[in-house]
Structure 1
Amino acid sequence: MPLPIPILIPISIVIIFLIYTLYKSLRFKLPPGPRRLPVVGNLYDVAPLKFRCFADWANKYGPIFSVYYGSQLNVVVCKPELAKEVLKDNDQLLADRYRSRPAEKISKDGTDFIWADYGPHYVKVRKLCTVELFSPKRLEALRPVREDEVTDMIQALFDASTSPEGAGKSLVLREFLSTVSFNNITRLILGKRYMDLKGSLNEEGQEFKGIAMDRIKISMNISLAEYVPWLRWFFKVDNVGPAKYLDRREVFTRKIMEERNVALMNENKQHFVDALLSLQKQYDLSEDTVVGLLWDMIAAGMDTTAVIAEWTMAELLRHPRVIQKAQEELDRVIGSDRVMSEADFINLPYLQALTKEALRLHPSTPLMLPHRASTNVKVGGYDIPKDTIVHVNVWAIGRDPDVWKNPLEFRPERFLEEDIDVKGNDFRVLPFGAGRRICPGAQLGINMVTSMLGHLLHHFNWSPAPGVKPEEIDITERPGAVSFMLNPLHCVATPRLPAHLYKSQSTA
């Protein structure tokens, strides 16, 4: 008597799974990893904080291991030498991007920059970013914009900490950091400010933020069918959400571009949108690529500087001696009769080391964005079959006890004792990635975070919220591609400079 269909289907699935597993194990020498289940693979074994989960698995299975999202093979590396193999030695073969179906939709099949596969299009857009958009000349030209936003943050903090209802009380620091980060990215890229000193958005700003949040929601809307192709018959991808997002984004961006085209006739402000419009024909960029690139930069920069600055301030509150040492340097170099500028960085080595130490311990994207193998390749003596997704756990590498002495200690001095590059040339610390996929805005990010921290430390003394001891400050991460603090940092700011140095000089 033949088996009923409801019983036959799962038996067939298991048999196919076992045959495929045997085939792969015979053909390829894959990295070891946790035992997987049919259909779902290791999906239900992966903890929400993936980078911590993968660091634990590296201790159990080795510094390179396999993990299956459904039937999709992922390989994770957690050592500097293996990161070098992925990001330098085999860089070109592992420089493609894995795109989920939502990412495929919102990137218009990888016609942007972040989600583009490695090839002529990516090389062209990357050259534009490196040579034109993030060149030292352009970053210097836009320095007044960044300094405006930071001094606005200082005024907002001063007003909040000296008001009758705020004096001596704790502040939610993230609110101020997010405002400066938000306004900085919109002014640098679009030439516009949407948020006031109190964090209130104007009408256009609300639309802008709504579009940005829609992108995040769509990107996170991933079903099991992403990793089990035959389930796509049952889990159809949402075409309506991405289509509405793209339409909304298109209308908003077109309006900005038309405004900037008019502005370019009357002024010489070279914000990123201006540069893209003036270079579009020279680089033969499609309209989709111009719009996609603008929103890639917005997505990459809107939260990351605020995230890193908040983590750093949390570590500083847990280590008062570091605050004291940084303030002594600032007082010696800057004094108490002027405010700091980015031009002072060269004379503030401890402040720079402090930023680097924060990037080591708390990279904003602890697993980087995933790479994809364009062909079969070997890493660490193991086979990485074509289309495998490869992750570099930069969070684990930055805390590796075989690489760093007392790796969990927040000690900026380590970056003064040794010249350690954080922009992709030293594989022990990779907050911006390395190789062909390194973040082209690394220097901009470093400058912004260093400026925020320098001003915060120069203008204010800091202490934990009343009743909280330094060691009690919660440094738990929130799950997600970007590593926010799970609970916003509450702290008390006390002005330490003459009152006139807290007044914003904004030119916006």
Structure 2
Amino acid sequence: MAVLISLFAFTLLYLSYKLYKRLTLNLPPGPRPWPVVGNLYGVKPVRFRCFSEWSRAYGPIISVWFGSTLNVIVSSAELAKEVLKDNDQQLANRHRSRSAAKFSRDGKDLIWADYGPHYVKVRRLCTLELFSPRRLEALRPIREDEVTAMVESLYRDCTSLEHKGKGLMVKKYLGAVAFNNITRIVFGKRFVNDEGVMDEQGQEFKAIVANGLKLGASLAMAEHVPWLRWLFPLEEEAFARHCARRDRLTRAIMEEHALARQKPGGAKQHFVDALLTFQGSYDLSEDTIIGLLWDMITGGMDTTAISVEWAMAELIRNPRAQRKAQEELDSVIGPSRVMTESDIPNLPYLHCVAKEALRLHPPTPLMLPHRTNVDVKIGGHDIPKGSNVHVNVWAIARDPTVWERPLEFRPERFMKEDVDMKGHDFRLLPFGAGRRVCPGAQLGISLVMSMLGHLLHHFSWAPTIGVRPEEIDMGENPGLVAFMRTPLEAVPTPRLAAELYKRVPVDI
């Protein structure tokens, strides 16, 4: 009985302290929270749109309570600068959900690591070694090979009697590029053969990815309300089985590369080879190597395909912009050869198309939360230690005070002003900024540009029969990344000679 009374008294004191802090601090405004659950029941499924609506009502910085945890949402470029530059070090920690903590071995990777010596070491490895210009150039043949494989597949399908003149699901082809590209760059593996058949190891890989997504999405309410966790216990055995399965596959691939490296010419530029090379000099544990490899996979698997699908939807809705991009491609490349990445610097309008698509449709519309490691002030408001701060990139890109006609797809806006999109201009943040900016930004940009260029140079694109361009569904699915709610279906028409659609496989 004495223990229960003590526990009750401690809980009462804790809640009283939290209430006192909430009442005495100058927190950002926001919707009134409910006891225990906070604002959880008021948050709509597409969170970045919901937070944007609340920001229009309460201002560009708002408080949203997930259970007893304060989440601060900023929706202006000025406040994003305060978060990602002025207070960067104080906000460089990462909130880890229970599932993220399990997957990352409590932050032994890069994405979920708190800011400190480990993060600085691993970030340096990524910047100087994994994503160096030299390595990205060495991996260029893989990217170009997979993009030409996409073109060949599209051509085969759109000219077949079965599909001629009919719409194709664009996501299918973009997803194949993203999947094959990331597995080859990270693991040195193309799990799918030229006939589109996936091998046993590839099937295991896809099953692990799908199971990880399922486990990560299974803890919503209990994640934010500690008092309810006894009702929703973490499935320790399920997470342990998943991690063991993931690690078993990864170790098998690492062992294959370790054996190959013992032979003359066996060392390659793939990320797994690079991590094995630098394991000793950077003092990398096996947990960190596995965590980094899967960071690259989860970070690069969907984002490029998502970005290109949105861009193609906008270009089909805006035929004038599509024609202008194709005129540039025809002028620079011509009708007798295919595009390569070396052509990208000579395609300024295509750059503008990619930027405008990433502005309107950032693949991660709401940045992963930055967690405060000390009390800070943002926009004149108190943000206590332990709060989560989110930057609503999607809302900033639609701010009429910084963008002229922000809801229109107008690539020309970037011809007038060269806006950086790698974290230096806080109006456009598809890859984040500051200490936690995406280290693979240049890799993502190169692949997006190459995919867009090939799709537009090789084909003209129109909506399916009976669908007007303005009727294409531009809504998003709920989730961390912004998939199109209705996958894009479109009709491609070849523009070049038949021999230019043939893939010549490369082995690297």
TM-score normalised by the chain length of structure 2: 0.96
Distance 1:402 1:369 in 2: 25
* 1:17-416 equivalence runs, <5 A: 19-20=16-17, 22-196=19-193, 199-264=196-261, 265-267=263-265, 268-416=267-415
Distance 1:215 1:24 in 2: 37
Superposed CA deviations along residues 12-42 of structure 1, whole A, max 9, x for unmatched, are 9998797456402343110011001111110
Distance 2:307 2:458 in 1: 19
How far off is 1:200 after superposition?
A: 3.7
**Conserved in 1, the CA contact under 8 Å of 2:219 and 2:232?**
no
Aligned partner of 1:266: which letter? P
> Residue 472 of structure 1 corresponds to which residue in structure 2?
471
1:199/1:383 CA distance change after superposition, 3 Å: farther
Contiguous gaps of at least 5 residues in structure 1: none
How far off is 1:241 after superposition?
A: 1.6
For residue 340 of structure 1, give the secondary structure of its aligned residue in structure 2: coil
Contiguous gaps of at least 5 residues in structure 2: none
> Residue 435 of structure 1 corresponds to which residue in structure 2?
434
How far off is 1:202 after superposition?
A: 1.7
Distance 1:233 1:218 in 2: 18
Distance 2:232 2:316 in 1: 47
How far off is 1:221 after superposition?
A: 1.8
Aligned partner of 2:125: which letter? L
**Conserved in 2, the CA contact under 8 Å of 1:86 and 1:379?**
yes
How far off is 1:176 after superposition?
A: 0.3
For residue 40 of structure 2, give the secondary structure of its aligned residue in structure 1: coil
TM-score normalised by the chain length of structure 1: 0.96
Distance 1:28 1:198 in 2: 62
Superposed CA deviations along residues 58-114 of structure 1, whole A, max 9, x for unmatched, are 000100000001111100000001000001110011010101111111111111111
**Conserved in 1, the CA contact under 8 Å of 2:306 and 2:483?**
yes
Aligned partner of 2:283: which letter? D
Distance 1:20 1:372 in 2: 21
1:308/1:13 CA distance change after superposition, 3 Å: farther
Distance 1:178 1:304 in 2: 10
**Conserved in 1, the CA contact under 8 Å of 2:303 and 2:363?**
yes
Distance 2:252 2:395 in 1: 43
For residue 229 of structure 2, give the secondary structure of its aligned residue in structure 1: helix
How far off is 1:195 after superposition?
A: 2.2
Distance 1:18 1:101 in 2: 23
How far off is 1:238 after superposition?
A: 1.3
Distance 1:312 1:199 in 2: 26
How far off is 1:224 after superposition?
A: 2.3
Aligned partner of 2:95: which letter? Y
Q: Percent of aligned positions with the same letter in both sequences?
A: 62
For residue 233 of structure 1, give the secondary structure of its aligned residue in structure 2: coil
**Alignment length (residue pairs):** 500
Distance 2:259 2:320 in 1: 52
**Conserved in 2, the CA contact under 8 Å of 1:74 and 1:390?**
yes
**Conserved in 2, the CA contact under 8 Å of 1:156 and 1:197?**
no
